[in-house]
Structure 1
Amino acid sequence: MILYTTTPIEMIFPCDQTVFDNYKTISYQGVPLVVEQTDNHYRIVQILSSNPNDFMKEELAPGQLISFI
């Protein structure tokens, strides 16, 4: 089986269910994102938008932190 996707292999075949449980899909500033929840914020894992301009926004780059307080 060959998967042609930009989704990280860790999300498709997670090694541990608890890792997968930490990921959520949210909409932030109208942009759909896959985030990982930590203590008081989310860490952006992936941008799910089809708009190329969303990928140019530095505040939405993977690894950036979003506060949800």
Structure 2
Amino acid sequence: MILYTTMPQELVYQTPVSEFGKQEIIQYEGIPLLVERDENQSYRVIQVMSTDPTHFLDGRCTPGRILTNNRF
């Protein structure tokens, strides 16, 4: 089947609800982050939730970065 659409793939093929149970919002050095917990009890940054533009430029909390529990 071919699907012709201008909508992004994330809207057409949405994430299962069970995946959202792993996500939470944490404060990392004063920066609110949306993270996903993995099986090693570390966190992978999904999104910076701050309204401060300097937080988006901080390399310590870029999306995809792995944070361990001892860093909080």
Identical-residue share of aligned pairs (%): 28
Misfit runs of 4+, over 3 Å: none
User: What SS does the corresponding residue of 2:24 show, helix, strand or coil?
Assistant: strand
Match of 2:46 in 1: 45
1:36: which partner in 2? 36
Match of residue 27 from structure 1: 27
Give the AA of the match of 1:64.
Answer: R
Indicate the structure with greater strand content: 1
TM-score relative to the length of structure 2 = 0.72
Residue identity in the other structure for 2:67:
I
Q: Distance in 2 between matches of 1:51 and 1:15?
A: 28
Larger Rg: 2
Residue 44 of structure 1: CA displacement? 0.2
Q: How far, CA to CA, are the matches of 1:19 and 1:26 in structure 2?
A: 17
TM-score (norm 1): 0.75
Q: Which amino acid aligns with 2:64?
A: G
